[in-house]
Amino acid sequence: MCGIVGYVGYRNLESVLLVGLERLSYRGYDSSGIAIISDGELSYWKTPGKIHELEKLLQNMSIQGHVGIGHTRWSTHGEPNEVNAHPQINAPHKIAIVHNGIIENYQSLKSKLLSEGFLFRSQTDSEVIVHLIARYLQDNLLEAVERAMLDLEGTYAFAVIAEKEPDKVIVAKKGSPLIIGIGKNENFISSDLNAVIPHTKDVIYMDDMDIAIVESQAVLFKKLGGAYIEKEIHHITWDATSADKNGYDHYMLKEIFEQPTIIRNIISKTIDGDHIKFDSLRMSNEELIKTTRFIIQACGTSWHAGLVAKYLMERYARVLTEVDISSEFRYRQMITGINDIVVAISQSGETADTLACIREAKSKFFKVLSFVNVQGSTIDRESDGIIYTNSGPEVGVASTKNYVAQLVTLYLFTLYLSHLKWSISSNDLVTMISELKRIPDYIDQILEQKESIRAIADKYYQHREFLFIGRGLNYPSALEGALKLKEISYIHATGYAAGELKHGPIALIDEHLPVVCIAPQSPTYDKMISNIQEVRARKGKTIVIATEGDHSIEEFADDIIRIPHVSEELTPILTVIPMQLLSYYIAVKLDCDVDQPRNLAKSVTVE
Ligand code: F6R
């Protein structure tokens, strides 16, 4: 959450900072600002609102300079306004900082600094950092930063510039991500890859307690209170253009339509003839075979993917699989087994709760296997084993393509493990792989129904409440459908296991409630039909997702969306597609900000 950029070099400073902020705006977008040093003088501009408000503010200025930092904010402490926006400034010492994270002891630090005469203007926790640095600044900025870090508790990635040392940006990290992009006679700072990849593919990931002194000709790294260190340069293969809209109205729509291609890519990377391979796995087959329990933990949409994986792993690999929400998992007393593996699922690889869980798990000597999209992210680097979900940069705040990529990758992992354990035969494996290969074409067929799904959205968009129901593997799909709708349209939506309907939620049903019923052909199909009838009997409106050729279901459906026939285990990959489109068109009809819904941020790096 919150995006940090920084630049030292000879390009147009304003444009590097603004383009960087624009590319990080999915991390938070309630206010933004930049600070620069030009001819030895510090200047800064900041404003509430999205990045284009900052662009407007800077429109007629001619900003010169070679050193600058910028920030796009997702508020934690203090409402989004100009004063609370970053950079935070210490005016007497002409120092500016941008910060991502939460300073947990800021109240006590603030009281102390106030008693010493420091003036606070904002309600942010971040402001203590800049005053602490000012407090310690005598001859050397680095020394002041190090002394300030010793006082700080909590998490941070921050970048600081000061008139006293006008040619550099000093950055420090503890708990929040920070990346240095290495250029020729220029260097970049960013809280994630997206702001760096248009300029350079060579990056250095900072670790906790690392400090970097970034100048145009060099970047020096050291540990807090320790010696200077060498850091490895990683070469990134991500393409900058994959984070553009490519003519679509919104990133979310573009990402929904990218899904068939992404699955084709995953299949071609992972399947070699009749074999499945995970190049990055970093775990031996022996370790996987002897696993007696997988404990999956994840948040939000990634948690839904984990729920689907539980069904798959238990059904095919015959391994006990638990699934927990990361923020809950951390606080229960885990019973550890010597052959347990903790599995983390995360698009960003930076989600604070998920990361905290893997650290907790490792401290208890669990092995950690993670399914991550963003290569080089903290979860990637801290896990014992890794499998990439390979969906490319996902920019829309509501996760779509990466969810589907997670489902496909978890399915492939299940097949891989099941075959290792001989719980499925080679023939089964071949059949299952060949069915998976047809999925991208099936998704194309669903996407062709976009106009009829848009018509359903037009019919129901004014309802203030929706229910989503499904069974078995499609119970998580119901949760995911409801989450998509509520996060981008602000309509209250609940996902339920259809069998639970009569244990409470049925009380909600009347002629005003649309119920999305996920009813593909499956062993629980008849039970699902009974649940749909229960809805109809109470005059609820049914939007049914059903298999092509299933005509008997039509009499129970006010509206119907078709998916091609596939084996039950693959249905969640298809049933989610119409729900993504339905949510998208409802949100567009309501004139909501689809790609940047209020209060949300793409990567949740605070607990
Ligand atoms: C919903 C959504 C969130 C994320 C959750 C976990 O559309 O995007 O619920 O799934 O914040 O994020 P990652 O997967 O990055 O750990």
Q: What CA dihedral angle connects 492, 498, 504 and 505, to 10 degrees?
A: 30
Pair (455, 576) in one structural domain:
yes
Q: Output the average pLDDT for the chain.
A: 93
Whether 396 contacts 251, CB under 8 Å = yes
Say if 316 falls within a structural domain. yes
Distances in whole angstroms, Cα of residue 234 to Cα of each of 5, 153, 182, 204: 19, 30, 10, 6
Pair (143, 107) in one structural domain:
yes
Say if 314 falls within a structural domain. yes
The percentage of residues in the chain with a pLDDT greater than 70, rounded to a whole number, is: 97
pLDDT for residue 24: 83
User: Per-residue pLDDT tens for 327-361?
Assistant: 898 888 778 788 999 999 999 998 989 999 999 99
Whether 198 contacts 240, CB under 8 Å = yes
User: Per-residue pLDDT tens for 29-77?
Assistant: 789 999 999 999 999 999 998 888 999 999 988 888 999 999 998 777 7
Say if 599 falls within a structural domain. no
Q: Residue 447 Cα, ligand 1 centroid: separation in angstroms?
A: 23
Pair (210, 321) in one structural domain:
no
Q: Which of 240, 259, 276 is the last residue in one of the domains?
A: 240
Pair (69, 128) in one structural domain:
yes
- Both tokens assigned to 273: 């003839």
Is the pLDDT confidence value at 241 over 70?
A: no
CA distance 92 to 164: 12
Q: Residue 71 Cα, ligand 1 centroid: separation in angstroms?
A: 22
Q: Which of 373, 408, 437 is the last residue in one of the domains?
A: 437
Cis status, amide bond into 92, omega within 30 of 0: no
Pair (507, 386) in one structural domain:
no
Is the pLDDT confidence value at 539 over 60?
A: yes
Pair (233, 252) in one structural domain:
no
592 counts as catalytic: no
Q: Ligand 1 test: best mutation among 308, 328, 604, most atoms within 8 Å of CB? A: 604
Q: Ligand 1 test: best mutation among 252, 299, 350, most atoms within 8 Å of CB? A: 299
Is the pLDDT confidence value at 243 over 70?
A: no
Instruction: Classify strands 514-519 and 541-547 as parallel, antiparallel or unpaired.
Output: parallel
Q: Which of 222, 240, 258 is the last residue in one of the domains?
A: 240
CA distance 95 to 292: 55
Beta bridge partners of 70: 5, 34
Residue of minimum CA distance from atom 16 in ligand 1: 346
Is the pLDDT confidence value at 526 over 90?
A: yes
Pair (166, 287) in one structural domain:
no
Q: Residue 475 Cα, ligand 1 centroid: separation in angstroms?
A: 18
pLDDT for residue 245: 79
Domain that holds residue 351: 244-437
Name the active-site residue from 168, 484, 486, 602: 602
Please tell me if the CB atom of residue 189 comes closer than 6 angstroms to any atom of ligand 1. no
Please tell me if the CB atom of residue 583 comes closer than 6 angstroms to any atom of ligand 1. no
Nearest-atom number in ligand 1 for the CA of 298 is 16
The count of other CB atoms within 10 Å of the CB of residue 252 is: 28
Pair (466, 417) in one structural domain:
no
pLDDT for residue 239: 67
Read off the pTM: 0.84
Domain count, the chain: 3
CA distance 132 to 110: 9
Terminal Cα distance for the chain, rounded: 10
Whether 312 contacts 569, CB under 8 Å = yes
Q: Ligand 1 test: best mutation among 252, 383, 399, most atoms within 8 Å of CB? A: 399
CA distance 154 to 305: 30
Q: What is the mean pLDDT of residues 575-581?
A: 98
Pair (164, 123) in one structural domain:
yes
Say if 580 falls within a structural domain. yes
Tell me which residue of 507, 519, 499, 518 sits closest to 465, measured CA to CA. 507
Q: Ligand 1 test: best mutation among 323, 324, 345, 347, most atoms within 8 Å of CB? A: 347
Angle at 602 between CA 600 and CA 607, to 5 degrees: 75
Pair (165, 300) in one structural domain:
no
Is the pLDDT confidence value at 131 over 70?
A: yes
Nearest-Å Rg of the Cα atoms of the chain is 25
pLDDT for residue 75: 73
Q: Residue 276 Cα, ligand 1 centroid: separation in angstroms?
A: 27
Nearest-atom number in ligand 1 for the CA of 301 is 10
Name the active-site residue from 2, 299, 357, 592: 2
Q: Identify the band that residue 606 occupies on the pLDDT scale cut at 50, 70 and 90.
A: low
Amino acid at 259: Q
Say if 443 falls within a structural domain. no
Please tell me if the CB atom of residue 571 comes closer than 6 angstroms to any atom of ligand 1. no
pLDDT for residue 602: 66
The CATH number linked to 520 is 3.40.50.10490
Please tell me if the CB atom of residue 603 comes closer than 6 angstroms to any atom of ligand 1. yes
602 counts as catalytic: yes
Match 């933004």 to its residue by tokens: 32
Please tell me if the CB atom of residue 302 comes closer than 6 angstroms to any atom of ligand 1. yes
The CATH number linked to 90 is 3.60.20.10
Sheet (strand 492-497) strand order: 492-497, 465-470, 514-519, 541-547, 559-563
Residue of minimum CA distance from atom 7 in ligand 1: 398
The count of other CB atoms within 10 Å of the CB of residue 321 is: 23
Say if 155 falls within a structural domain. yes
Nearest-atom number in ligand 1 for the CA of 398 is 7
Whether 95 contacts 68, CB under 8 Å = no
- Residue, of 129 and 77, whose pLDDT is higher: 129
Say if 607 falls within a structural domain. no
The percentage of residues in the chain with a pLDDT greater than 90, rounded to a whole number, is: 81
Beta bridge partners of 228: 222
Please tell me if the CB atom of residue 351 comes closer than 6 angstroms to any atom of ligand 1. yes
Pair (346, 360) in one structural domain:
yes
Q: Residue 596 Cα, ligand 1 centroid: separation in angstroms?
A: 14
User: Per-residue pLDDT tens for 469-503?
Assistant: 999 999 999 999 999 999 999 999 999 999 999 89
State phi, psi for 4 to the nearest 5 degrees.
-120, 135
Say if 442 falls within a structural domain. no
CA distance 179 to 192: 6
Pair (295, 432) in one structural domain:
yes
Q: Residue 403 Cα, ligand 1 centroid: separation in angstroms?
A: 9
